[in-house]
A = this chain, B = another copy of it.
């Protein structure tokens, strides 16, 4: 059967990204070598295409993704997976994106009731010839309370849900839990799936004592991250679904050592 993709291309143009996206597969996430967690991940896998190659055999991308259903946050495992993909697909550049929901059990602050919350995570692993890079992104909903509204009003302050996102490139592995904890500790208040009345009183008062603009928030997270020796670069994004407007406030701060 004729191999159209394998034909020689005469147009003289390489392509940066060729591949598949929005493929969903069950995934076992290994953390610290032992804990495991089952979820459905959405994957994307791209390579480059040399000027003389007409097309990529996309079925091989699906095959390769079906061979690796057990992922880990550790650089060693990810580096191995991406290298195997690079070898299987016979390409110099490989980019793998693994997007998945991740459950975190939270305990309410006063009544100590446990319940599960779920956050979205993205592992992005690149290999360009021998150079490997991995980033971890966590997207954590938080509460922000407006310092201006508090300062000028007799009582109360407008507050709202905001989505904080942190992307980290690090020499050591920063766990999903660590990233989430850091994003939550710098918020006006962290969110809880389950709050009894005593807890609700606590979070209402706690947030009033910790007013922050999106600008304050990204800076406070950045200051914490800059102390980590192992972090090479990071980006913090915060989008606040303002309770007094129908549009959103936004801030973004990046750092590269």
User: CB within 8 Å of B: which residues of A?
Assistant: 1-5, 9, 11, 13, 15-26, 38-40, 44, 46, 49, 54-56, 58-59, 62-63, 66, 101, 103, 113-118, 141, 143, 145-149, 151-161, 189, 191-198, 200-201, 203-205, 207-208, 213-216, 218-220, 222-223, 239, 241-254
Q: Are A250 and B17 in contact, with the CB atoms below 8 A?
A: yes
- Tell me whether B103 and A25 are in contact (CB under 8 A): yes
With known contacts A18-B214, A189-B244, A118–B9 Cβ distance under 8 A: no
- Please state if A152 and B250 are interface contacts (CB–CB under 8 Å): no
Q: Which residue of B has the minimal Cβ distance to A141? A: B246
Shortest CB distance A58–B (Å):
6
Q: A39-B40, A192-B244, A241-B161 in contact; A54/B17 too (CB < 8 A)?
A: no
Query: Please, how many angstroms separate the alpha-carbon atoms of A246 and B104 in the complex?
Result: 12
**B197, A152: Cβ atoms closer than 8 Å:** yes
